[in-house]
Copies of this chain bind each other. A is one copy, B any other.
Amino acid sequence: MIVAAASELFAARGYRGASVEAIARRSGISPPVVYEHFPSKVELYRELLERHFAELRAVWSRNLAGDDPLAERIARSCDAWFAYVEAHPFAARVLFRDGAGDPEIEPVHREVAERSKAAVMRLFVAEPGAENVAGPADAEGLEMAWVVLRGVLQGLAVWWSEHPAVPRERVVAMAMNSLWIGLERVHRGDVWAPSSR
């Protein structure tokens, strides 16, 4: 399976470091066969990203749906998120260890990130109480909230992929402590303000 081998190698060595030759060899084939399945290296990379992103998004939206209190849904989603990371360590590293900085794949990442942002922001907006975070039509504030969310989840995911001995519950608890408690409080209008300095 080419995409599996590619995931592992991209995760381990980065986009530049993983040569098409190496990917082919690990798949038990030779480079030209790769080019019969994908038009170019960067397209192979894009395909890979798309797949992982789609799976992750499915996990996320499946768990966020429902009528339970938001706290439970978020906790469930976090848990499912890290379960996915646990089951697909390469996916997480390819998706999150950025790859920004490389001009060739940066547009690909940006595109996927854009769609993820749109998806999350729709959820934020649909949630009652969201206006306390950002104000009713405040796209900037929502975007920053997404940036924070992403920063925390990505950071923990990458860190965890390098410390697999830590039990998942701990990582989930840390994510919830960092995100939910702060967000919940903000949700109630209990914001930190510069004037309090």
Contacts and interface: CB of A to CB of B under 8 A. Distances in A.
Interface of A: 13-17, 71-72, 75-76, 97-104, 106, 140-141, 143-145, 147-148, 150-156, 158-159, 163, 166, 169-182, 185-186, 190-194, 196-197
Nearest to A102: B14
Contact of A144 (B147, B159, B180, B185): B159
Contacts of A153: 151
Contact of A102 (B17, B171, B172): B17
A192 B181 contact: yes
Contact of A148 (B147, B170, B178, B192): B178
Contact of A159 (B101, B143, B174): B143
A140 B170 contact: yes
Nearest to A144: B174
A97 B100 CA distance: 6
Contact of A103 (B17, B143, B151, B185): B17
Contacts of A14: 100-103, 106
30 contacts: A14-B101, A16-B16, A16-B101, A17-B101, A17-B102, A17-B104, A97-B100, A98-B101, A99-B101, A101-B102, A102-B102, A141-B170, A143-B159, A144-B156, A144-B171, A144-B174, A147-B156, A150-B155, A151-B152, A151-B156, A172-B194, A173-B192, A173-B193, A177-B186, A177-B191, A178-B178, A181-B181, A181-B182, A181-B185, A181-B192
Given A147-B159, A181-B190, A182-B182, 16 more contacts: A14-B102, A14-B106, A16-B16, A76-B197, A97-B98, A97-B100, A97-B101, A140-B163, A144-B174, A151-B153, A151-B156, A172-B194, A176-B192, A177-B186, A177-B191, A178-B182
